Structure 1
């Protein structure tokens, strides 16, 4: 599974997050790959993923609560 480092739009970021979390749920990738990829996406696309310490509206609508709970917990890890 290839994940880009930089995305053009919020929809692209949301699609990548969906793809990653779904692959993890389907046991196609291991937990560490999910964690590393989510952290990389956040680091390089922060303005497209978060706004005012919350997920952007587009990301919220595209990803849904269940996926974003996982992303939020990963981002809270040290």
Structure 2
């Protein structure tokens, strides 16, 4: 996993891979939370616009994945949703 992404599409693909790996029990919850938090901390402008996910992320990741991401970011107090 990279920490810095060039485009929102690359970022979305990475989030999809991480969440899918978690749902397939390839990584544990701790790794999921750390990876999502690290991605947000290093790419916040590509992830959120205002208080909402960017359109590209919504299209590429889908509602269920972004609900998990939002929950992780809220839980870690990185965003105030």
TM-score by length of 1: 0.96
| Distance across 2 between alignment mates of 1:66 and 1:5 | 23
Q: Which deviations, in whole Å up to 9, do the C-alpha atoms of 1:25-77 show, x marking residues without a partner?
A: 00000000000000000000001000011000000000000000000000001
Which structure has more relative contact order (CA 8 Å, sep 6+)? It is: 1
How many residue pairs align between the two structures? 76
**SS of residue paired to 2:21:** helix
Give 5+ residue unaligned stretches, structure 1: none
TM-score by length of 2: 0.92
Please report the RMSD computed on the Cα atoms of aligned residues, expressed in angstroms.
Answer: 0.5
Paired position in structure 2 for 1:63: 61
4+ long deviations beyond 3 Å:
none
